[in-house]
Amino acid sequence: MKYLDEYRDPVLARRLLAELHATATRPWTIMEVCGGQTHTIVRQGIDELLPAGIRMIHGPGCPVCVTPLEIIDKALAIAARPDVIFTSYGDMLRVPGTSGDLLGLKARGADVRVVYTPLDAVRIAHENPGRSVVFLAVGFETTAPANAMAVLHAAASGVDNFSVLVSHVLVPPAITALMDEPDTQVQAFLAAGHVCAVMGWTEYEPIALKYQVPIVVTGFEPLDLLEGILMAVRQLEDGRAEVENQYVRAVRRSGNAAAQDAVRTVFQVTDRTWRGIGPIPASGLALSAEFAGFDAEQRFSVGDVVTVESPLCIAGDILRGTRVPTDCAAYGRACTPRTPLGAPMVSSEGTCAAFHNAGRGLEM
């Protein structure tokens, strides 16, 4: 397919690898922030082909993985109500809450529906005026414009039986939090190309400057990742710390103005707790005052839920990049993609699932 196949060409991948081997003279540690990039890197074994000493750390950029347990438990409480049609992206259905997941709830008769886009949830609300339709609005800056448009569209067309359970997260504050950790090993970042397609990369410029850390906006295909890694290594070797753009075909410096406008109208920045990582100031989005009427948490007053994580799961260390899934005692045993104990085992963008799908550390 055009704009995919060309960026998977094995001959060009080999050239990029040769160039990387010729460029790297010292060991460097680079974090790819985005789970989609982790998926490609692990699946294609890119990290295993890099010059010795170039280490990739898999970052916290999987929305399925970092959505707080509290939100999953609230989703379960709301979805269990007989008057509710609960809608969600498919990959959230198997995220383990304190007791069970949305898929299990659906099997027991709850009306839980997978939608491809949040506009489908608005349509379901329009078609079912007697029911309350709730959409689980999670994700990074990539899904925020879609979720913003769903709220704007529901407001404009008077669909008032629609609401959203919001737990949006933002990438730059997470990068800052990682760099503020005293034992951080990250020396360069690959920034998520599609997050930057929406937001541009001006937010990253002060971060690169303050922490003297190269940040390369990178795409998702194997050649994109190899070129992004090469650009990061060149900066590290030269002692530069700039924001560079590998993903020129899709990302402009100022991003997508129309999408940013919608996000700013519907949402406001808020503190957010990341599953496995903990609270990060100003790292998420919540509904703005003007659209607070669409807040499912208020409509259904699911104030206090008591959450308990699996004691075996070391997801926090994995999301921070200090340990890998094969360090986890449950990995591949108690915890598999079919029986996930922690969120990183659920989505193919989660590091544990990416490792498991590639057969890493498993006796086959």
Partner 1 sequence: MCLGIPGRIVGLQDTEPRTGTVDFDGLRRPVCLAYTPEAGVGDYVIVHVGFAISLVDEEEAAKTLAVLRAMPDAIETELGS
Toward ligand SF4, which CB reaches closer, 139 or 344? 344
Contact partner at residue 223 from partner 1, ligand SF4, none, CB < 5 to 8 Å by partner kind = partner 1
Contact partner at residue 145 from partner 1, ligand SF4, none, CB < 5 to 8 Å by partner kind = partner 1
Toward partner 1, which CB reaches closer, 11 or 364? 11
Contact partner at residue 362 from ligand SF4, partner 1, none, CB < 5 to 8 Å by partner kind = none
Toward ligand SF4, which CB reaches closer, 64 or 171? 64
Distance in angstroms (rounded) separating the CA atoms of residues 181 and 185: 9
Distance in angstroms (rounded) separating the CA atoms of residues 359 and 352: 11
Closest distance of CB 183 from partner 1, Å: 28
Read off the tokens for 326: 């094969």
The pair phi, psi for residue 87, each rounded to 5°, is -120, 150
Residue number of the CB atom closest to ligand SF4 = 342
Closest distance of CB 212 from partner 1, Å: 27
Toward partner 1, which CB reaches closer, 10 or 279? 10
In three-state secondary structure terms, 177 is helix
Residues that bind ligand SF4 (CB under 6 A): 312-315, 318, 325, 328, 330-331, 335, 341-342, 344-345, 352
Contact partner at residue 167 from partner 1, ligand SF4, none, CB < 5 to 8 Å by partner kind = none
Closest distance of CB 49 from ligand SF4, Å: 24
Toward ligand SF4, which CB reaches closer, 248 or 329? 329
Residue 144 · residue 118 · CB < 8 Å? no
Closest distance of CB 312 from partner 1, Å: 26
Residue 140 · residue 195 · CB < 8 Å? yes
Contact partner at residue 354 from partner 1, ligand SF4, none, CB < 5 to 8 Å by partner kind = none
Beta strands in 171-295 (DSSP E): 188-192, 215-218, 243-245, 267-274, 278-287
Toward partner 1, which CB reaches closer, 92 or 166? 92
Residues that bind partner 1 (CB under 8 A): 1-4, 6-7, 11-12, 14-19, 21, 34-36, 61-64, 89-92, 116-120, 138-140, 142-143, 145-146, 149, 153, 156, 194, 197-198, 220, 223, 227, 248-251, 256, 258-259, 262, 349
Query: 231 to each of 20, 38, 199, 236, 242, how far by Cα in Å?
Result: 9, 18, 21, 9, 10
Contact partner at residue 258 from ligand SF4, partner 1, none, CB < 5 to 8 Å by partner kind = partner 1
Distance in angstroms (rounded) separating the CA atoms of residues 224 and 5: 12
Between strands 278-287 and 162-169, the pairing is antiparallel
Contact partner at residue 312 from ligand SF4, partner 1, none, CB < 5 to 8 Å by partner kind = ligand SF4
Contact partner at residue 328 from partner 1, ligand SF4, none, CB < 5 to 8 Å by partner kind = ligand SF4
Task: Count the residues in the chain.
Answer: 364
The helix-helix angle for 222-238 and 35-43 (nearest 10°) equals: 100
Classify residue 62 by burial, with Cβ atoms within 10 Å: 0-12, 13-18, 19+: buried
Distance in angstroms (rounded) separating the CA atoms of residues 123 and 126: 5
